[in-house]
C-alpha cells in the first residue's frame, strides 16, 4: 500500500480527535470552583466595595500576619485595635481549593493566635474585615502557610 496525501489527512484527523478527547476528559476531571457562590450579587454591589477599599487603604500596614511554630499570629497595631468595634472577621481564601477555605470570627484584641492545624499548607488570601463607627473596613493580605 502506497502512502498518499489522503492517508496523511486521515492520520492527522485521528490524532486531532484523540488529543481533543484527551483534553476534554482532562478538563472535566478538574474542579472548577468559583471564587464565591454569590459572585453576581458581589459584582452588582462592586461600587460599595470600592468605597470600603478606599476607607481601608490607610490600615493596610496596621495588620501583620506571621507563622510562629504551629500557630498563625495576627497582630494589630494599637491604634487600630482601639478603634475596632467588637469583632474581627478573618477569611482564609485558598485559590487552589475551596475545601481549604476557613472563616473565623474573633473578639477584638491586639494579637490573635490561630492554630495552623485548621488549614492546609499553601497560599492564602487573608481577608480581614471589621466595623468602626458603623462603617465597614476590609483588608486583604497574601500569606503562605508552610
pLDDT score, position 97: 78
Do residues 90 and 118 both lie within one domain?
Answer: yes
The strand order across the sheet containing 63-68 reads 63-68, 71-76, 111-115
Could you tell me if 25 and 48 lie in one domain? no
Average pLDDT over residues 112-131: 87
- pLDDT value of residue 35: 65
Give the residue-averaged pLDDT of 45-56. Answer: 87
Give the count of alpha carbons within 13 A of 75, CB side only: 9
Q: Do 26 and 43 fall within a single domain?
A: no
Together in a domain, 92 and 20: no
Q: What's the confidence (pLDDT) of residue 34?
A: 64
The domain of 8 spans 1-30
> How does pLDDT run across 84-100, given as a tens digit for each residue?
777 889 999 888 777 88
Q: Assess whether 6 and 67 both reside in one domain.
A: no
pLDDT of 30 higher than 70: yes
d(C-alpha 108, C-alpha 98), whole Å:
27
Q: Which helix (H) or strand (E) holds 41?
A: helix 39-44
Q: Convert the pLDDT of each residue in 127-142 to its tens digit.
A: 998 888 888 899 999 9
Residues 43 and 19 in one domain: no
Under DSSP, the state recorded for 108 is -
Give the mean model confidence (pLDDT) for residues 105-109.
Answer: 82
User: How many CB atoms are located within 10 Å of the residue 7 CB?
Assistant: 11
The CATH number of residue 100's host domain is 2.60.40.10
In terms of domains, do 46 and 101 share one? Answer: yes
Residues 109 and 77 in one domain: yes
| Statement to judge: residues 71 and 121 lie in one domain | yes
Same domain, 76 and 4: no
**In the prediction, which pLDDT does 119 show?**
85
Residue 16 has pLDDT above 90, yes or no: yes
Rounded to 5 degrees, φ, ψ at 38 are: -110, 50
Residues 98 and 139 in one domain: yes
Give how many domains the chain has, as a whole number: 2
Whether residues 2 and 46 fall in one domain: no
**More confident position, 9 or 44:** 9
Q: What is the mean pLDDT of the chain?
A: 86
Task: State residue 45 phi and psi, 5-degree precision.
Answer: -105, 25
Look at residue 15 in the predicted model and tell me its pLDDT.
98
Amino acid at each position: 500500500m502506497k502512502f498518499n496525501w489522503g492517508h496523511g489527512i486521515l492520520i492527522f484527523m485521528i490524532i486531532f480527535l484523540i488529543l481533543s478527547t484527551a483534553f476534554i476528559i482532562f478538563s472535566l476531571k478538574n474542579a472548577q470552583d468559583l471564587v464565591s457562590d454569590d459572585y453576581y450579587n458581589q459584582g452588582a454591589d462592586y461600587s460599595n466595595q470600592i468605597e470600603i477599599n478606599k476607607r481601608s487603604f490607610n490600615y493596610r500596614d496596621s495588620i501583620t500576619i506571621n507563622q510562629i511554630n504551629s500557630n498563625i499570629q495576627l497582630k494589630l497595631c494599637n491604634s487600630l485595635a482601639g478603634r475596632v468595634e467588637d469583632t474581627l472577621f478573618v477569611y482564609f481564601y485558598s485559590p487552589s481549593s475551596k475545601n481549604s477555605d476557613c472563616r473565623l470570627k474573633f473578639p477584638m484584641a491586639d494579637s490573635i493566635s490561630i492554630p495552623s492545624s485548621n488549614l492546609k499548607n499553601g497560599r492564602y488570601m487573608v481577608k480581614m474585615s471589621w466595623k468602626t463607627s458603623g462603617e465597614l473596613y476590609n483588608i486583604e493580605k497574601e500569606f503562605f502557610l508552610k
